[in-house]
Chains A and B, each alone.
Chain A
């Protein structure tokens, strides 16, 4: 079975500072990994995904994430935070075959301080 742990339910950074949101996963087979963003009272929007190939993946809004198999991690980063990045972020894992279900982490709420 797959599982996801997001370290830190709340992260606060200053505008212009580095954003780092942590995600560790557990999977018995090579996983597909995703980051989604959710703005208040809205659905989830895909930020980026890792399936196969290059382990550093770039997404929308300047975010990127690196798949590190040895550390079972898929941390999300952005070099310079913007006020509009304030939202909740979810890491998710699925396996390439089977029922295509996503298993989500508990989410990290990102606050940007002016």
Chain B
């Protein structure tokens, strides 16, 4: 089955710890995205990547880092600089070209909590 896989489903972070959220897609999509979801605030863009080895900051990039070494993978690291990391994190991908380039497909999410 083609799709986007996020892992783990639940993650706990200790004070001062960096944690990494995994996002893998087998849709052969060029573009990938990370969003943060907080109650009542919709989804906010953290980082996005339109092509391998390139990525751009979104609206709330502070305290986060990403890499895009492979087309199918776009891991997100929540660093200790992110003081309020508790949220639901969603990864998405899109074709990046053609008429369907703006249609984003989402993974099932990772819920991050602070211990």
Contacts and interface: CB of A to CB of B under 8 A. Distances in A.
Nearest to A95: B102
Given A90-B42, A101-B45, A42 B108 contact: yes
Contact of B96 (A36, A43, A100): A100
Interface in B48-71: 48, 50, 56, 58
A12 to B, nearest CB: 17
Contact of A101 (B4, B48, B105, B109): B48
B105 A104 contact: no
Interface residues of A, number: 23
Interface residues of B, number: 30
A102 B42 contact: no
Q: Which of B88, B106, B108 has the most CB of A within 10 A?
A: B106
A43 B90 CA distance: 7
Nearest to B90: A43
Interface string A70-106: 0000000000000000000010001010011110111
A17 interface: no
A36 B103 CA distance: 11
Given A44-B90, A46-B105, A99 B40 contact: no
Interface in A23-57: 32, 34, 36, 41-46, 49, 51
A114 B58 CA distance: 41
A53 to B, nearest CB: 11
A9 interface: yes
Given A9-B40, A100-B102, A102-B104, 13 more contacts: A41-B88, A43-B107, A43-B109, A44-B90, A44-B106, A46-B105, A94-B102, A101-B33, A102-B33, A102-B43, A105-B42, A107-B40, A107-B42
Interface of A: 9, 32, 34, 36, 41-46, 49, 51, 90, 94, 96, 99-102, 104-107
